């Protein structure tokens, strides 16, 4: 039903397709794609960049590979020294820190700390 009504609206007076309405329809599709796909992806990339810039020494983080640890040193070549267990260190790229897993871990840690204080 919807497809036939769209086809009817795209037809001109003599039954031939109207190129103006076709261009408007394609333009509308491009706008919808921008609003639902490209814009959110750019926003998330901007948040990830800000998150990577705000990482500090002593924070507990999770890498994109799922390795948990604490940042022990921030090197000048944009790498981090991650302490995964006492006395065991790894050097990783700053971009290898996962924003989603790290914030989820921090929220979980704050939630358990808050519950322990209330008891």
Q: What is the pLDDT of residues 31-55, one digit of tens each?
A: 988 888 888 889 988 988 898 888 8
Could you tell me if 46 and 74 lie in one domain?
Answer: no
Q: Dump pLDDT digits (tens) for 53-65.
A: 888 899 899 998 9
Could you tell me if 75 and 102 lie in one domain?
Answer: yes
Residue 35: how many CB atoms within 10 A of its CB? Answer: 10
Our count of domains for the chain comes to 2
Could you tell me if 41 and 64 lie in one domain?
Answer: no
- pTM above threshold 0.75: no
Could you tell me if 8 and 43 lie in one domain?
Answer: yes
Could you tell me if 38 and 90 lie in one domain?
Answer: no
Whole domain around residue 38: which residue ranges?
2-50
pLDDT at 5: 55
Encode 5-19: b = buried (16+ Cβ within 10 Å), e = exposed: eeeeeeeeeeeeeee
Contacts of 80 (CB under 8 A, 6+ apart): 55, 71, 73, 74, 91, 92, 93, 94, 97
Could you tell me if 29 and 62 lie in one domain?
Answer: no
């Amino acid at each position: 039903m919807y497809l036939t009504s769209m086809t009817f609206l795209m037809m001109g007076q003599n039954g031939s397709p109207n190129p103006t309405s076709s261009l408007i329809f394609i333009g509308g599709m491009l706008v919808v794609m921008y609003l639902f796909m490209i814009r959110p992806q750019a926003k998330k990339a901007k948040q990830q960049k800000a998150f990577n810039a705000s990482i500090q020494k002593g924070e507990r983080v999770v890498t994109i590979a799922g390795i948990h640890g604490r940042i022990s040193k921030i090197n000048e070549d944009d790498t981090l020294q991650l302490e995964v267990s006492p006395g065991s260190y790894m050097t990783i790229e700053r971009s290898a820190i996962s924003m989603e897993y790290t914030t989820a871990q921090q929220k979980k840690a704050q939630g358990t700390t808050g519950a322990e204080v209330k008891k």
